[in-house]
Amino acid sequence: MTINESAKKLHGRLPPKVMRTAKEARKVSRQLFRQSFRDGKLDEERITQMVQTVLANKSRHYVDVLQDYQRLLRLEQEKRHAVIESASPLNRSIGDQVVNNLKSRYGDDLNIEFRTNPELLGGMRIKIGDDVWDGSVRSRLRQLQEQI
């Protein structure tokens, strides 16, 4: 089956109107999302204003627009949230060094959360949005096991 045949088959499953409305809702939610920033950061006041405007107008498929807008906001917040896991509590100097390095890379508005996770066995794992750095002993042991 060619790519064109596959595309025709996929498009045949969904009525064109449904596909068009979903695409329109994503387009509107992306526009709202772009307007939600002030000085490069999400602005709570603008977000509230955007949601109130959509709810007041109740335009076509406004629920879909708000759901996609909420998804975009959640993804952006995850980019600004760092979770630093270590097998035992980090001493203050190491914690400060890690935080300074992350803030220099991701910006000063980064929210930091420290967690202790004994399952790591040693080392640390850092997660920011989709970025994950895993320098834990558990991860290294798993890699060795996969190689054997």
Tens of pLDDT along the chain (148 residues) come to 333 343 334 344 434 444 467 888 899 899 999 999 998 888 899 999 989 988 988 877 889 989 999 999 999 988 889 999 999 999 999 999 999 999 999 888 899 999 999 999 999 999 998 899 998 888 888 888 888 8
C-alpha 65/C-alpha 57 separation (Å) is 12
Give tens-digit pLDDT for 55-92: 988 877 889 989 999 999 999 988 889 999 999 999 99
Contacts of 30 (CB under 8 A, 6+ apart): 68, 72
> Which CATH class, in words, describes the domain spanning 80-147?
alpha beta
Ramachandran angles phi, psi of 125, nearest 5°: -130, 130
Q: Using a cut of 0.75, tell me whether the model's pTM lies above it.
A: no
Where along the chain do its domains lie?
A: 3-78, 80-147
